[in-house]
Amino acid sequence: MYRIDLAGTRHRFPDLKSLLAAATPLRSGDELAGIAAESAEARVAARHILADLPLKTFLTETVVPYEDDEVTRLIIDSHDAAAFAPVASLTVGEFRDWLLDDKVRARELSAVCPGLTAEMVAAVSKLMRNQDLIAVARKCRVVSRFRSSIGLRGRLAVRLQPNHPTDDPAGIAASILDGLLHGCGDAVIGVNPATDNVDGAIALLHLIDDLRLRYAIPTQSCVLTHVTNSLQAIERGAPVDLVFQSVAGTEWANRGFGIDLALLAEAQEAALSLKRGSIGNDVMYFETGQGSALSAGAHHGVDQQTLEVRAQAVARAFRPLLVNSVVGFIGPEYLYDGRQIIRAGLEDHFTGKLLGLPMGVDVCYTNHAEADQNDMDNLLTLLGVAGVSFVMGVPGADDIMLNYQSTSFHDALYVRDVLGVRPAPEFEAWLDGMGMLDVRGRVAPPDIATLPLARAIADQRFPTQ
């Protein structure tokens, strides 16, 4: 039992997960689950207690029982006591101050990373203002590699997302070329297939790989199909660069996705066996998002933000190239409006970076949320300042297959321009070689009609099935 007296009122929280839930900034998913703070005063009380809680508490008191959940076992069993030592004596509040100390830079954060558990990182994020989340995330430096380098300082990559409602090869190819002409695609060219079957995934993999090879593009491809489909595609000799999977923060939520840790390990080994990376071997691509465990009825009474960080702990175990928080995709039942989406996006980015992940964010919302593109402009800019590794590039910012709003190729150009960040170095050199950069290094060719890629569009010389 955790308790505190504030202004003549005694506040009680029966266990650690109740304390964490009450300390969380307001969001509709926790209200839906019946675990949100009962009042603003109760939220402040919970934060008072949390600030004085020793970090070591999270090594002895779990939010989901060790015996019942393999994610909890992963978190506890993989904890690095030596890396934890520099902060082992701190409370959660003192840990916040340590993170914000100017003397603590990227080297110190990387060193302590293996000693941090998901719950420690979730707890400290609940004590931080938005500017704190940005300031610490900006200090973190996480670099991953396959054919391009993701996460270098001063760089911002873009996932080119050329979805099509019928998986039409010509339509997908045209969107890919459109994105490349706008300097997008250095994180990955990644398609969400409309039909989730192995034959369809293999066809799309060949389409993207043929285009990549034709123009010698230093990037990687991914068809965001179920991990078991990717395993079958690998067995059939398909050109699989990255294995994709959505992951959640509890064992039962992951079973709802049809996965467990052993299956993810099998997929990673299969992808590594292909040896397709040219400058690195980070072969996994994970997506997360607050509310997934609640929507699966597998949240164990734990707040959605803490479970999101536990999902990131799952991703950390497999050394991914990319981890993407699809922050607003799940809808207003979990993140009600632009304010909640912006806060959650900054939290997810901060916690992922602190755990050592190459974090990107799909800056997005569904059309029934109380949010609009101005909210997305705000979040995109804030994440750019915070040093986000990659964002999405969707034609017109309107995904016509998944029916949600994201960020466009032009949004990526905007944020690179206003913040003075550039594409991944390998991709930037390719853009320059293709004549798509001006004298200032911006994607602004003087005569687009003369470019090889533009001529390919005009001649319709893109690959089809």
| SS3 state of residue 196 | coil
Q: What is the pLDDT of residue 457?
A: 59
- Mean pLDDT of the region 74-99: 98
Q: What is the pLDDT of residue 465?
A: 47
* Residue 453 domain flag: no
Same-domain pairing of 279 and 415: yes
Task: Choose between 435 and 138: higher pLDDT.
Answer: 138
Q: What is the pLDDT of residue 449?
A: 66
Tell me which of 134, 156, 176 is where a domain ends: 134
Which range marks the domain in which residue 244 is found? 144-434
Q: What percentage of residues in the chain have a pLDDT greater than 90? A: 92
Tell me which of 100, 134, 168 is where a domain ends: 134
Q: What is the pLDDT of residue 35?
A: 97
Give CA separation, 271 vs 222, 355, 403, 413, in Å.
12, 23, 30, 32
Q: What is the CATH number of the domain that holds 123?
A: 1.10.220.70
Binding residue ranges:
159-161, 192-193, 245, 287, 295, 362, 401
Q: What is the pLDDT of residue 461?
A: 57
Same-domain pairing of 154 and 98: no
* Residue 454 domain flag: no
Alpha carbon distance 148, 406 (integer Å): 23
The token pair at 337 is 């409006």
Same-domain pairing of 314 and 393: yes
**Is the pLDDT confidence value at 460 over 60?**
no
Same-domain pairing of 238 and 183: yes
* Residue 240 domain flag: yes
Same-domain pairing of 51 and 111: yes
Same-domain pairing of 356 and 269: yes
- Residues 273-293 have pLDDT tens digits of 999 999 999 999 999 999 999
* Residue 440 domain flag: no
**Sign of the C-alpha dihedral, residues 243, 245, 249, 253?**
negative
**Is the pLDDT confidence value at 463 over 60?**
no
Characterise 167 by phi-psi region: left (phi > 0), alpha (psi -120 to 50), beta (else): left
Same-domain pairing of 193 and 309: yes
**Is the pLDDT confidence value at 3 over 50?**
yes
Same-domain pairing of 296 and 411: yes
The residues near 28 (Cβ < 8 Å, ≥ 6 apart) are 332, 333, 334, 335, 336, 340
Tell me which of 109, 134, 159 is where a domain ends: 134
* Residue 396 domain flag: yes
Binding residue ranges for substrate:
159-161, 192, 287, 362
- Residues 278-337 have pLDDT tens digits of 999 999 999 999 999 999 999 999 999 999 999 999 999 999 999 999 999 989 999 999
- Mean pLDDT of the region 7-15: 95
- Residues 246-262 have pLDDT tens digits of 999 999 999 999 999 99
Mean pLDDT of the chain: 95
Cα angle 235, 359, 384; round to 5: 140
- Mean pLDDT of the region 83-112: 98
Q: What is the band of 446 on the pLDDT scale with cuts at 50, 70, 90?
A: low
Q: Are 392 and 158 in contact (CB under 8 A)?
A: yes
Binding residue ranges for adenosylcob(III)alamin:
193, 245, 295, 401
Residue 15: HSE in the Cβ half-sphere, 13 Å Cα cutoff: 12
* Residue 439 domain flag: no
Q: What is the CATH number of the domain that holds 236?
A: 3.20.20.70
Q: What is the pLDDT of residue 196?
A: 80
Alpha carbon distance 131, 82 (integer Å): 30
Same-domain pairing of 177 and 113: no
**Is the pLDDT confidence value at 6 over 70?**
yes
Q: Are 198 and 209 in contact (CB under 8 A)?
A: no
Domain total in the chain: 2
